[in-house]
Amino acid sequence: MKRTTAALLAVLLLAAACDSSGGGGSSTSDVPGVTDSEVVVGTHMPLTGPAAAGYSKIAPATKAYFDFVNANGGIHGRKITYKIKDDGYNPATTQQVVRELVLQDKVFAILNGLGTPTHSGVLDFLKTNRVPDLFVASGSRSWNQPDRYPGTFGFNPDYTVEGKILGTHVRSAYPGKKVCFLGQDDDFGRDSLAGVEKILGPVAAKQTYVTSSPNVGPQMGALKAAACEVVVLATVPGFTALSLGTASKIGFKPQFVVSNVGADPATVGKALGTAAPLLEGVVSANYLPLTTDDASPWIQLFKRVNAEHNGGAEFDNNVVYGMSVAYLFVQSLQAAGRDLTRDGIVAAVRRNGFQGPGLVPLRFADKDHAGYGGERLTRVEGGKAVFFGPAYTTDDGDAAVQPHTGPVVTPPQNGIPAA
């Protein structure tokens, strides 16, 4: 057993060695991750594993936009370094990589960490270490607890907001029809159902699924047996495809209304393969410009950045999402000013006033840390999602769903937000 001791000593030596070599990036200022010429931020993303499909494209797109900004001189003379850590959508790994980013790599902030179960586990850690936790990539309402987590801010419209907007559309477009619901068995499904029921009252039938069991046959059978005419889906892309396919197989043809999270026609169509035409007529919603809208100056900008700095990756909603997050972070850096501090950027985000690619305003305020406050409806026509009707805004409480009539914003000439 002396070997145990020897082994432990070896670990000590190694750890010490690793530390002396890996503890670089010393900063001249007192703020972690910030020097006169650089600001280091980090993220955790599922680059591999079950949730990697689609989502793994977000962080590289964000990085590509930062590279574009860096190539044009950076922000306040600082280049943005974006450290991307793969957590495989495993909460235990998220714990590890976020600790590595904060304690070892000394990042200034965590940006756009992805996933409800994964990110929930690091909220307390980030709070204790006073690390700004900006623009979390998920629509859970957990990010909006300014009293408990003063440094955490969301990005996506939360699932209840979305549920209310989808519910409002269902009420006006399909009056008197029997409405049912299939949702993921977590905050995503529960919050979404809460929003739908807030508008429509109790749905006729509701079913849940878990991602670990790729079969929605029983659920679709039950919804068919309940004679549902409209089915609202709070599903991730793979399960949207599975639900549409399974329904078609059992001869069940309701109107599908799908959460933004699981409705990207490129991703779902790929999963459906030859059955992609099943997507025709599916209603969903979005809050960022559509990839197919070549007339949008935002899409033109992002496509240019994608070609120049992202190796021309296939241009889908995930790329637009990643670059929109990057744009918002650059705006936050500009707003936080030349003397960049952690408190400074949190205060800047709270002040809000950002105008970017989003169709509706961000909700950030002193007592509100939720992201976008609404969405605009889309319908799949000819294999492409197209917008219809106005954009709507609401909140996750009892506020009414209202059409949004704000000015359309175009990106600045050079594609980089000014201070």
Partner 1 sequence: MTGSVTEVARPGTATPVPEIRGRRRIPPIVPVLIGAVVVAALSYVLPPFRNYQLATVGAYFTVTAGLTVLTGLNGQLSLGHGALMATGAYAFALAQNRWLTMPLSFLAAIAATTLAGVVIGLAAARLRGPYLAGLTLAVAVVVPSVTSTFDETFHSDMGLSVALDPPPGTIPVERWQAWLCWAGALVTVLLLAMLVRGRFGRDLRAVRDDETAARLAGVHVARTQVLAFVVSAACAGLAGALFAVLAQSVSPGAFPLTLSLFLVMAIVIGGLGRLTGALCGAVLLVALPALAQTAGERSGSQHLEGNLALVIFGVVLVVVMLAAPGGLASIRFTRQSRRNR
Query: Which residues sit at the interface with partner 1, rule CB under 8 A?
Result: 1-16, 18-19, 23, 47-49, 52, 56, 59-60, 84-86, 88-92, 95-97, 99-100, 103-104, 116-118, 120-121, 124-125, 128, 184-187, 208, 210-213
**Tokens in use for 49?**
């594993």
What is the C-alpha separation between 148 and 127, in angstroms, rounded? Answer: 9
Residue 211 vs 248, nearer CB to partner 1: 211
Strand 205-209 relative to strand 109-111, pairing = unpaired
Residue 211 vs 355, nearer CB to partner 1: 211
Least distance (Å) from partner 1 to the CB of residue 361? Answer: 29
Least distance (Å) from partner 1 to the CB of residue 294? Answer: 28
Q: What CA dihedral angle connects 286, 196, 275 and 264, to 10 degrees?
A: 20
Residue 48 vs 410, nearer CB to partner 1: 48
Q: Determine the Cα angle at 54 with ends 185 and 117, to 5°.
A: 35
Residue 48 vs 402, nearer CB to partner 1: 48
Least distance (Å) from partner 1 to the CB of residue 17? Answer: 8
Residue 239 vs 287, nearer CB to partner 1: 239
Of 374, 372, 370, residue with least CA distance to 165: 374
Least distance (Å) from partner 1 to the CB of residue 111? Answer: 15
Residue 13 vs 399, nearer CB to partner 1: 13
Q: What is the CA radius of gyration of the chain?
A: 22
Tokens 């296939």 belong to: 314
Sheet bearing 205-209, strands edge to edge: 205-209, 179-184, 230-234, 255-258, 283-286, 374-381, 384-393, 402-404
Other Cβ atoms within 10 Å of 3 Cβ, number: 7
Least distance (Å) from partner 1 to the CB of residue 117? Answer: 5
Tokens 């902030």 belong to: 109
Least distance (Å) from partner 1 to the CB of residue 112? Answer: 14
**91 within 8 A of 121, measured Cβ to Cβ:** yes
Residue 184 vs 378, nearer CB to partner 1: 184
Sheet bearing 109-111, strands edge to edge: 79-86, 38-45, 109-111, 133-136, 152-154
Least distance (Å) from partner 1 to the CB of residue 172? Answer: 33
What is the C-alpha separation between 320 and 104, in angstroms, rounded? Answer: 31
Least distance (Å) from partner 1 to the CB of residue 48? Answer: 3
What length does the chain have?
419
Residue 89 vs 155, nearer CB to partner 1: 89
Residue 66 vs 89, nearer CB to partner 1: 89
**291 within 8 A of 266, measured Cβ to Cβ:** yes
Least distance (Å) from partner 1 to the CB of residue 99? Answer: 5
What is the C-alpha separation between 394 and 162, in angstroms, rounded? Answer: 9
Distance of CA 349 to the CA centre of its chain: 17
